Amino acid sequence: MGRLDYSIAFNNEPVPEHPNCLIFSAWDEQGNEIASNMEYFSVGGGFVLSRAELNAKLEETHEVPAGMAAAQSDDERIPYDFSTGDQLLELCKETGKTIWEIIAANEAVLHREDGGIARVNTHLDLVWDVMRECVTDGISTKGILPGGLQVNRRAPQLYALLLEQQDDPTSGFSAMEWVNLYALAVNEQNAAGGRVVTAPTNGACGIIPAVLHYARDFLPDFTRETARRFLLTAGAVGMIIKQNASISGAEVGCQGEVGSASSMAAAGLAEILGATPAQIENAAEIALEHNLGLTCDPVGGLVQIPCIERNAIGAVKSINSARLARMGEGTHHVTLDNAVQTMAETGRDMHTKYKETSIGGLAKTLGLSVSQVEC
Ligand code: SF4
């Protein structure tokens, strides 16, 4: 051993419990094994679990019927405890508050020792600032993305084209082109190791910023306060999905990443469009429903193909979902909870090769698994 590149062995046969496992073993200078089989699992959204923690999580999930993971709040102090979409809607009805107000009240209590709601707002503003910086950096950085796939950054070129033709009524360009631009810019930054907001994961980090930029540029009266309401509402949906299914491509495929981000963004936008809580829940449901079954198959193990474009498609889907829901009354056959439960069950049934392993789907068709990309 000694050289790092010889010390990592990629194994395309995942351990049965989870596709994203890293096993550490260590040897001393004499070659005696001093630690072995220390297993850690990357379960998405930046979370890493030890073997004991993963086992506890799996046990917890299996105790609960129909794919709904145990969803008790771990903080009894919050004023509005919920774990499902139905419970959240019930709270809105009981209190007369909308979704963002419920989340803001909870967060204010959780942060009461470090500034309360002022602290929460400061953080939300920072999130929005970082998203804007990411777009600015993405549209101004040209070149080939690292990793060996030779993927060209498209955002700068698209931005130049949009600026050039935005006043030409015959160009056929609309808000959709700008949404595509924003999503590409953020995901190209992510693919290049730039600073992004994990929302809710890095692979799906372009959707929420793209939809927020759409709201800023194409809806009236957008302020920092609007962005806060969007993010708090989107956060509520993210919590429900994470508690009852997963936001991890390694656990449930891309429906958990792009599907979750799309659902969150749809809810946030619906709030900005003046939707009722029932319409917001409907928006989140529509976006998630039409991402069900989406597999995770990043070519060469890089978050580039299909991930970058998939965020643009997901952002447009969010906007359409919010607009569709806003036109209705919030009554619908499939609830957000139904869609989340379906995602969990579909994810469990999904073959491991479609869960971030890069051995199925597009990764297989293009013939490039994780270890085959020439850097
Ligand atoms: S394909 Fe996989 S890696 Fe790419 S965005 Fe979807 S879940 Fe993430």
Q: What angle do CA 193, 296, 9 make, to 5 degrees?
A: 65
Q: How far is the CA of 223 from the centre of ligand 1 (A)?
A: 31
Output the pLDDT for position 372: 53
Q: Which helix (H) or strand (E) holds 133?
A: helix 116-140
Q: Which of 30, 46, 63 is the last residue of a domain?
A: 63
Q: Is the CB of 203 under 6 A from ligand 1?
A: yes
Q: What is the pLDDT of residues 279-292, one digit of tens each?
A: 999 999 999 999 99
Q: Is the CB of 19 under 6 A from ligand 1?
A: no
Q: Is the predicted pLDDT of residue 374 greater than 50, yes or no?
A: no
Q: 143 lies in a domain?
A: yes
Q: Is the predicted pLDDT of residue 46 greater than 80, yes or no?
A: no
Q: How many domains does the chain have?
A: 2
My answer on whether 160 and 306 are in the same domain is yes
Question: Whose CA is closest to atom 2 on ligand 1?
Answer: 296
Q: How far is the CA of 163 from the centre of ligand 1 (A)?
A: 30
Q: Is the CB of 205 under 6 A from ligand 1?
A: no
Q: What is the pLDDT of residues 350-365, one digit of tens each?
A: 999 999 888 999 999 9
Q: Is the predicted pLDDT of residue 8 greater than 90, yes or no?
A: no
- Residue that wins the pLDDT comparison between 14 and 101: 101
Q: Which of 36, 63, 90 is the last residue of a domain?
A: 63
My answer on whether 37 and 152 are in the same domain is no
Q: How far is the CA of 342 from the centre of ligand 1 (A)?
A: 19
Count of C-beta atoms within a 10 Å radius of residue 372: 15
My answer on whether 159 and 59 are in the same domain is no
> Do residues 227 and 204 lie in contact, with contact meaning Cβ atoms separated by under 8 Å?
no
> Do residues 153 and 145 lie in contact, with contact meaning Cβ atoms separated by under 8 Å?
yes
Q: Is the predicted pLDDT of residue 258 greater than 50, yes or no?
A: yes
My answer on whether 172 and 304 are in the same domain is yes
Q: How far is the CA of 375 from the centre of ligand 1 (A)?
A: 20
Q: How far is the CA of 250 from the centre of ligand 1 (A)?
A: 9
My answer on whether 130 and 24 are in the same domain is no
Output the pLDDT for position 25: 85
The enclosing domain of 368 has a CATH number of 1.10.4100
Q: How far is the CA of 202 from the centre of ligand 1 (A)?
A: 9
Q: How far is the CA of 31 from the centre of ligand 1 (A)?
A: 39
**Confidence class of residue 72 from pLDDT cuts 50, 70 and 90?**
very low
My answer on whether 203 and 294 are in the same domain is yes
Q: Which of 23, 46, 63 is the last residue of a domain?
A: 63
Q: What is the pLDDT of residues 261-314, one digit of tens each?
A: 999 999 999 999 999 999 999 999 999 999 999 999 999 999 999 999 999 999
Q: Is the CB of 350 under 6 A from ligand 1?
A: no
Which one of 258, 295, 311, 343 would you pick to mutate in the ligand 1 pocket, going by the greatest count of ligand atoms within 8 A of its CB? 258
Shortest-distance atom of ligand 1 to CA 311:
5
My answer on whether 37 and 138 are in the same domain is no
Residue 336 CA: distances (Å) to CA of 19, 84, 244, 291, 345: 27, 8, 11, 13, 14
Q: Is the predicted pLDDT of residue 63 greater than 50, yes or no?
A: no
pTM of the model: 0.87
Q: What is the pLDDT of residues 246-257, one digit of tens each?
A: 999 999 999 999
